[in-house]
Copies of this chain bind each other. A is one copy, B any other.
Amino acid sequence: MKLSEVIFTNQWPTERKLGSSLLFIIDEVLKNQVPEALLKSKHVYWVQSGETLKNIHLFPQHVENLVDLCKDLDLSALKVVAIGGGSVGDFAGFFASIYRRGVGLIHIPSTWLAAMDSAHGGKTALNLGLAKNQIGSFYSAEKVVLVKPLLLRQPSERLQDALGEALKMAIIDRKVFTRFSKMKIWNDKAAWSVLPEIIKAKYRVVQKDPFEKKGLRQTLNLGHTLGHIFEIQHRLSHGYSVLLGTLFALEMSEAFGFLKTSSRRQIEKLPLWPDHYFADLLKLMRRTTERESLLKMDKKSDSSIQIRFVFIAGPGKTIVKSVLQQRVFQFWDEMLS
């Protein structure tokens, strides 16, 4: 898999710079944020972002609509340009990967979360009912264009949302950890300045195991196992859910003997780690009613009884192990008792 070219820019790229035959897939909430020319273009497919966009049952009709929009474009040079957050990128990337067995793809992420994480590394996905990302492909964007004014105009909630993935990355990657150890404030400016480091860290992992065959890439799933349960059942944002999932992994890693107490303290000392999250975690764990069935739906479930769990072994160190789902829930119950 080729890695994407990552471009940081202070202004929107011109259409001409992106390619000669472009089909845009854009989150409709960005209508007043994208360049005016796009509002008039007949090659724009406006979508409502969110998990419904990734529903496999709605996908065939989207494909019909998209192919119809392309009919006067040069298909041999076609590039799909996705402008939006994670769900738009997943959807547009999957379409690009299977239309004519793969056409060009460019991501212009509009959320911090997508800019840091989902736009990179070539994962595309659709959902099967509540089971997230069961269907998908590995398909890298040719380019990921990070447009500063677009990201800076996002609501600050989006920035908080991204903190979860950012802290996850700090735990996985030593260089990001060092950087985060010195960060006191999490705002637009801080996020934009640390963005290149976080992206590089992700590519370092992806490059070693692009198709997630060696277990290395799975380290990026840190915090996601429990995170997805919270995300689905309590309709929390992805980043916040991952943050809580990472906290759970921290607890479990120590309890299972993978993490020394001194290393755990080092990680907990990261200045951006918010206090109230531990109370939040316990509260949500108590309120979760369908954890078994939700965990089974997870793509990281190897079978009905085992799961691939990402443990934390220290700053910049993770270990992926198969564990019995039962043991995860035993620990869960112990935490609450």
Give Cα A134 to B75, complex, Å: 11
> Does residue A60 face the partner (Cβ distance < 8 Å to B)?
yes
Number of interface residues of A (CB under 8 A): 38
> Does residue A35 face the partner (Cβ distance < 8 Å to B)?
no
Give Cα A168 to B99, complex, Å: 27
Q: Chain B's nearest CB lies how many Å from the CB of A120?
A: 15
Give Cα A134 to B101, complex, Å: 8
How many copies altogether? 2
Give Cα A21 to B179, complex, Å: 44
> Does residue A59 face the partner (Cβ distance < 8 Å to B)?
yes
> Does residue A4 face the partner (Cβ distance < 8 Å to B)?
no
CB-CB contacts of A109-150 with B at 8 A, as 1s and 0s? 000000000000001010011010011111000000000000
Question: Which of B56, B71, B301 lies in contact with A60, CB distance below 8 A?
Answer: B56
CB-CB contacts of A37-66 with B at 8 A, as 1s and 0s? 000000000000000000011011001100
Question: Which of B72, B94, B212, B303 lies in contact with A73, CB distance below 8 A?
Answer: B303
Q: Which residues of B contact A303 (CB under 8 A)?
A: 72-76
- For residue A322, which residue of chain B has the nearest CB? B76
Please report which residues of chain A, range 287-313, place their CB below 8 angstroms from some CB of chain B when the two chains form the complex. 299, 301-304, 308
Q: Which residues of B contact A246 (CB under 8 A)?
A: none
Q: Which residues of B contact A131 (CB under 8 A)?
A: 67
Decide: B67 and A128 in contact? CB cutoff 8 A. yes
Give Cα A64 to B94, complex, Å: 18
Decide: B134 and A99 in contact? CB cutoff 8 A. yes
Question: Which of B64, B136, B299 lies in contact with A128, CB distance below 8 A?
Answer: B64
Give Cα A72 to B308, complex, Å: 17
Q: Chain B's nearest CB lies how many Å from the CB of A278?
A: 32
If A73-B303, A128-B63 touch, whether A137 touches B98 (CB-CB below 8 Å) is: yes
> Does residue A318 face the partner (Cβ distance < 8 Å to B)?
no
Q: Which residues of B contact A97 (CB under 8 A)?
A: 137
If A73-B303, A128-B63, A303-B75 touch, whether A138 touches B101 (CB-CB below 8 Å) is: yes
> Does residue A102 face the partner (Cβ distance < 8 Å to B)?
yes
A-B contact pairs, 15 of them (CB 8 A): A56-B63, A63-B128, A67-B128, A67-B131, A72-B303, A74-B302, A74-B303, A76-B308, A94-B98, A98-B136, A99-B134, A100-B299, A101-B136, A101-B137, A101-B138
16 new A-B pairs (CB below 8 Å) besides A67-B131, A102-B211? A64-B128, A67-B128, A74-B302, A75-B301, A75-B302, A75-B303, A97-B137, A98-B98, A98-B135, A100-B134, A100-B299, A101-B123, A101-B125, A101-B138, A101-B211, A102-B138
Q: Report the 6 A-B pairs with minimum CB-CB distance, sorted nearest first.
A: A76-B302, A56-B60, A57-B60, A101-B136, A74-B303, A98-B135
